[in-house]
């Protein structure tokens, strides 16, 4: 299976949503898969079944801090995205891969754990508390949306992210669990482009992808301009 991939640097969340939806359309029409790797500016997202009470500040306070809030279609509860966190959005056909949704989610999480172990951090996937964990601290969040058997959204790995922002939410709705990062654990987080390339290669090995590095083409960019992103700011 052919999958193109790109590290896009720092991308506003709404723009990444438009790129994802355009890529989903291309895959649903039989085009190649796409793996978007990037960072976001400070952003908070709530998944399909998120509890707004897990936002610990009034919306106006997040706005003053310059942190937009989005409700999106992925699984999971509330989480924070920001610089120093490697975001991965694999947009692929699960039918073409001949893989079930549970195996797809677990395969991504186990690939992240392998990447972390290569940096000297022993991590594990938890089915009961979806995510990748070091002890009782989450180091990577995982949340996908499957539409007509095409996967979007994905994962977020804490490399060198400002963890203080997680104190303004109940991360993933788990009040008694912590959040950590490679930096906090004293591991070498790698420059973001190198980390992105390594994760891309590991995913390709795990799922048998034929990987091709590129930037999203002009046709995808043009298509994304016509797509209305599915997000809404949460009312206070």
**Which are the catalytic amino acids?**
172
Residue with tokens 């949503």: 17
CA distance 93 to 72: 20
Residue with tokens 């291309």: 26
CA distance 76 to 41: 20
Q: Which of 34, 38, 44, 119 is nearest to 78 (CA)?
A: 44
Two tokens, residue 220: 């995808």
CA distance 10 to 18: 15
Q: Which of 107, 131, 132 is nearest to 121 (CA)?
A: 132
Length of the chain: 236
Q: Please name the residue ranges forming H helices in 187-228.
A: 192-207, 218-225
CA dihedral 82, 80, 200, 12 (to 10 degrees): -50
- The three-state DSSP-derived secondary structure of 133-161 is EECCEEEEEEEEEEECCEEEEEEEEECCC
Give the three-state DSSP class for 232: coil
């Amino acid at each position: 299976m052919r999958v193109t991939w790109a590290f896009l640097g720092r991308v506003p969340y709404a723009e990444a949503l438009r790129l994802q939806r355009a890529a989903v359309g291309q895959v649903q029409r039989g085009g190649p898969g796409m793996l978007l790797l990037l960072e976001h500016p400070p952003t908070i997202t709530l998944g399909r079944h998120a509890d707004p009470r897990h936002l610990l500040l009034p919306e106006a306070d997040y706005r003053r801090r310059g942190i937009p809030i989005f409700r999106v279609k992925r699984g999971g509860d509330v989480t924070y995205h920001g610089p120093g966190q490697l975001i991965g959005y694999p947009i692929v056909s699960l039918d073409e891969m001949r893989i079930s949704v549970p195996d797809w989610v677990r395969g991504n999480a186990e690939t992240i754990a392998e990447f972390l172990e290569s940096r000297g951090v022993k991590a594990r996937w938890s089915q009961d508390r979806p995510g990748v964990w070091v002890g009782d601290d989450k180091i990577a969040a995982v949340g996908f949306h499957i539409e007509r058997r095409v996967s979007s959204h994905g994962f977020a790995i804490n490399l060198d992210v400002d963890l203080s922002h997680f104190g303004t939410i109940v991360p993933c709705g788990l009040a008694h669990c912590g959040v950590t990062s490679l930096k906090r654990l004293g591991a070498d987080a790698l420059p973001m482009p190198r980390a992105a390339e390594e994760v891309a290669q590991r995913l390709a090995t795990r799922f048998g992808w034929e990987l091709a590095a590129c930037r999203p083409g002009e046709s995808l960019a043009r298509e994304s301009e016509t797509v209305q992103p599915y997000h809404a700011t949460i009312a206070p």
